[in-house]
A and B are shown apart, each in its own frame.
Chain A
Amino acid sequence: MAQRSNRKDPSWLSPLLLAAILLTLSLALVLAYKGWKEDRVLHHSDQKGSSKIIADIMVNLSGIPYREHCMTCHPQGKAANLPGQPVASRNHPAIVPHSMNDLGCTGCHFGEGMAGDLIISHGRIGMKSRKVLAGENVQASCYRCHDLKPLPGAEKAWEGFQLFSMNACDTCHNADGLSGGIYGPDLSAVGSSLGLSQIQTAINDPKADPENSIMPKFSLSPEQIKAISYFLKSRVKESPYETPMIRMVRLEKQVQSIGKGTVKVPVTAGDILREKKCLACHKFQTEDGQIAPDLSYMAYMRDKNYIMDFLYRPGKRIPGAVMPSINLTREEEGWIVRSLQQKNPENHLHGMYPRHFYMTLCQRCHAAKGDGLGMIQPNLANFPRVFWKNGEFFRWVPDERMIKSIKKGIPGTSMPPYGELLGDDAINSLVDLLFRDLIRTDRKDKSPVPTLPQRPAGILTGKKVEKEFAKYCSSCHGVAGNGKGPDYLKYLPRPRDLTNRLYFLSLTDERIAFSVFYGVPGTAMRPFASKISPESIWSFVNRIRELSKSHGETSKSN
């Protein structure tokens, strides 16, 4: 074998191989030790006499098998014995007639029964929908199985259920048998998806996620929110103690019992409004939901047809209104209209100072400071006009137009006509007040209105106009012109909904063109005169007419 003696084997090969094997071996031993150690710690099998067996139990709740390891660390539901800590003797409270061996642990406490560590077994990961309920929070589970009736030990959860309907939550949300609304997500299984604190955050801060949520922030105390969350947490996908048939019977019973109790004869005007949960949002006389406009003076502002239209479909009179349609019988509708149309001479704002008018009627939307950030502003489809130091805007508004806005209201928006409620004198002194205290300019200080460029004879249409409109307008006003462009959340006041027919019917073409040319002070609408040709701007006016379907109509006086 002549080759063998000439050959030079790489000398590093064998030592390297030995080193590699040793390295791998040591790491494998480390892994083996680590796994063994973790196993011991997890199952406390270092304590003398303690079992190395994992408490693997299977309970069968109405046909659904639940396998659990909870009792490995919590024997018979006791507080866990952690190594290195004194032996805990806190026993599980008596829960007769429930039995731990029949129900297991996760049926009441959630958590992940098949885990064996601290974090996952207590459900502290991800959306935390299975986060362990302990102490006071356990009652959030009761109504997973039990009928919605008062239950000793679940008082807060029962209170939560009552608050849910009292605060008109079911007008937008459906929650399992309470024939609810469709404006908001269906909450029939929310307990399976969200943890307790997430539900509480969703109620406490609805516009956190998603940002363009229309859910108002209801004025509820933290304890009330907690109670509602206990009720909602019990709305789960599969009840652990019901077959589908039992569930169906339960739902039918619930709907029937809730349907009872309609008002036979209204005692005071406030009763029907409270029965149908109007006052959960609206104000009427002394009761106030703090979410929606004040209905106390409806009788002086809107006629019967308006109210009935509004009840049937709010968006018809105020496009973009977040008020849901309410299910009403003919009778109930009649009562509501009658309640709202009652003119109570004591309610009439007689002999009040302008500031009192403002604080009673205007402050709710326009705010005491006049900056438009009134209490109910987040829930209005159109931002209330900014008065505070907005002289630039009002310098261009003729006095008559301002008085008209107050007297006749602004169609398509929440601004109602105050003409009948306040007399001409009162309105006049109110306008004085606005200029003096809020707008902070002289009422007579009117700038000469800039002239508009000539309107071209022909109407410009076509692809070019559409493209320009998309380029300049759609980032705020949206591709469809409904005010919901990709950037719209950045601006307050929000961009105008250009499809609001009622509103644009009340404007002349000149006024629309004016806003585009010279902008609207107090808002993010900037002047486009320098950026776009006058012909294009007039074509935008046409486009707006098309979008709002308000062609050929102009108001008489501007």
Chain B
Amino acid sequence: MEKPVNQINRREFLFKAILYSGLGAVAAVLTWIFLNLWTAASRFSSARWVLVAPLNRFRSDSIVPFPEYKIAILRTGQKLGAISLECTHLGCLLNVVEQDFFCPCHGSDFGPLGQVYSGPATVSLPWHDIMDREDKIWVHLGEKLKNPKWLILEERSPAG
């Protein structure tokens, strides 16, 4: 007796389809798990919010460095921003000289908004995300932003 060719093909095809897609799915899930594990390190160490200082620490138009976090908080008018104090050349901690940032290692010079004035560094300073919770300033270490993220302060009575 002849089996209908179509039916056999369909059954075999179905079987193979399920088999291969099942294998593929298993492989995909395992790959997903492994990839997550391998790249998990960047979720530790520096990716976190830190409480930097209370708001009244930042009087009008000041630059306050926090060397332990390698950031500085700038205030101009009613805007607050957190700029990285890590030299984009080789990672030295920058000094705050007047309105500029200066690197003592190889002499890179950055302007008040992190733009490169001179020096072996070629990339301008990155910024950090900043937020205000109950009059305390928090900064997000880890992920660095190319453009400044400003925190606008509402009009308050004597904040400086």
A contacting B, Cβ–Cβ less than 8 Å: yes
Q: Give A468-495 interface residues, CB cut-off 8 Å to B.
A: 478-480, 482, 484-486, 488
B109 within 8 A of A: yes
Q: Provide the residues of chain A in CB contact with B65, threshold 8 Å.
A: 182
B contact residues, total (Cβ < 8 Å):
22
Q: Give bound CA distance, A315 to B97, whole Å.
A: 10
Q: A residues within 8 A CB of B104?
A: 184-185, 210, 213
B107 and A183: CB pair below 8 A? no
Contacts of A315 in B (CB 8 A): 98-99
Query: Which B residues are within 8 Å of any A CB, using their own CB?
Result: 65, 67, 93, 95-100, 102-107, 109, 111, 115-119
Give the residue of B96, B98, B109, B115 whose beta carbon is less than 8 angstroms from that of A212: B109
Task: Tell me whether chain A's interface is mostly helix, strand or loop, or mixed.
Answer: loop
- Minimum Cβ distance to chain B for residue A183 (Å): 5
User: What would 7 more interface pairs be, CB under 8 Å, given A183-B97, A480-B115, A482-B111?
Assistant: A183-B95, A210-B103, A212-B107, A212-B118, A313-B98, A478-B117, A485-B118
Q: For B111, what are the chain A residues with a Cβ–Cβ distance below 8 Å?
A: 480, 482
Taken together as a complex, chains A and B put the C-alpha atoms of A212 and B121 apart, in Å, by 14
Assess the A488–B98 pair: CB atoms within 8 A.
no
- Give the residues in chain A near B116, CB-CB below 8 Å: 479
CA distance A188 to B93 in the complex (A): 13
A482 and B112 CA atoms in complex are apart in Å by 12
- What is the 8 Å Cβ interface bit string for chain A, positions 197-224, against chain B (1 contact, 0 not)? 0000000000000111110000000000
Asked if residues A479 and B117 are in contact (CB atoms below 8 Å), the reply is yes
Which B residues lie within 8 Å of A159 (CB)? none
Verify if A332 is at the interface (C-beta below 8 Å from B): no
A488 CA to B104 CA, complexed, in Å: 17
| Residue of A with least CB distance to B107 | A210
**Which parts of A119-170 form the interface with B (CB within 8 Å)?**
none
Partner of A211, one of B96, B100, B107, B117: B107
CA distance A315 to B95 in the complex (A): 16
Residue A111 lies at the interface, judged by CB distance under 8 Å to chain B: no
Quick one: closest A residue to B97, CB to CB?
A183
Answer whether residue A293 sits at the interface, using C-beta atoms and an 8 A cutoff.
no
Q: CB-nearest residue of chain B relative to A325?
A: B98
Residues of chain B contacted by A484 (CB below 8 angstroms): 109, 117-118
| Contact (A486, B93) CB under 8 Å given A210-B106, A211-B107, A213-B104 | no
A191 interface residue, CB < 8 Å from B? no
User: Are B98 and A478 neighbours in the complex by a CB distance under 8 Å?
Assistant: no
Q: Does A534 have its Cβ within 8 Å of any Cβ on chain B?
A: no
Task: Give bound CA distance, A484 to B98, whole Å.
Answer: 15
Contacts of A486 in B (CB 8 A): 118
B105 to chain A: which residues have CB within 8 Å? 210
Confirm or deny: A391 has a beta carbon within 8 angstroms of a beta carbon on chain B.
no
A480 to B118, CA, bound (A): 10
Given the complex of chains A and B, what is the CA–CA distance between A185 and B105 in angstroms?
A: 9
Chain A contacts for B95, CB-based, 8 A: 182-185
Minimum CB–CB distance for B53 against chain A, Å:
15
Q: Please give me the residue from chain A that is nearest to B67 by CB atom.
A: A186
In the complex, the answer to whether A320 meets B98 with C-beta atoms within 8 Å is yes
Q: Are B117's CB and A480's CB within 8 A? A: yes
Nearest first, the 5 A-B pairs at minimum CB distance are A210-B107, A315-B98, A185-B104, A212-B107, A484-B118
- Inter-chain contact A482/B97, CB cutoff 8 Å: no
A179 to chain B, nearest CB (A): 13
**In the complex, A212 Cα to B119 Cα: how many Å?**
10
Q: Which residues of A contact B118 (CB under 8 A)?
A: 212, 478, 484-486, 488
CB–CB A213/B107 < 8 A: yes
Tell me the bound Cα distance from A240 to B86 in angstroms.
28
Q: What's the Cα separation between A319 and B117 when bound, in Å?
A: 16
Complex: A184 Cα to B95 Cα, angstroms: 6
Q: Shortest beta-carbon distance, B131 to chain A, in Å?
A: 24
Q: Which residue of A lies closest to B115 (CB)?
A: A480
Name the residue of chain B whose CB is nearest to the CB of A324. B97
| 20 cross-chain CB contacts under 8 A | A182-B65, A183-B95, A183-B97, A184-B95, A185-B93, A186-B93, A210-B103, A210-B105, A212-B107, A214-B97, A313-B98, A315-B98, A319-B98, A320-B98, A478-B117, A480-B111, A482-B111, A484-B117, A485-B118, A488-B118
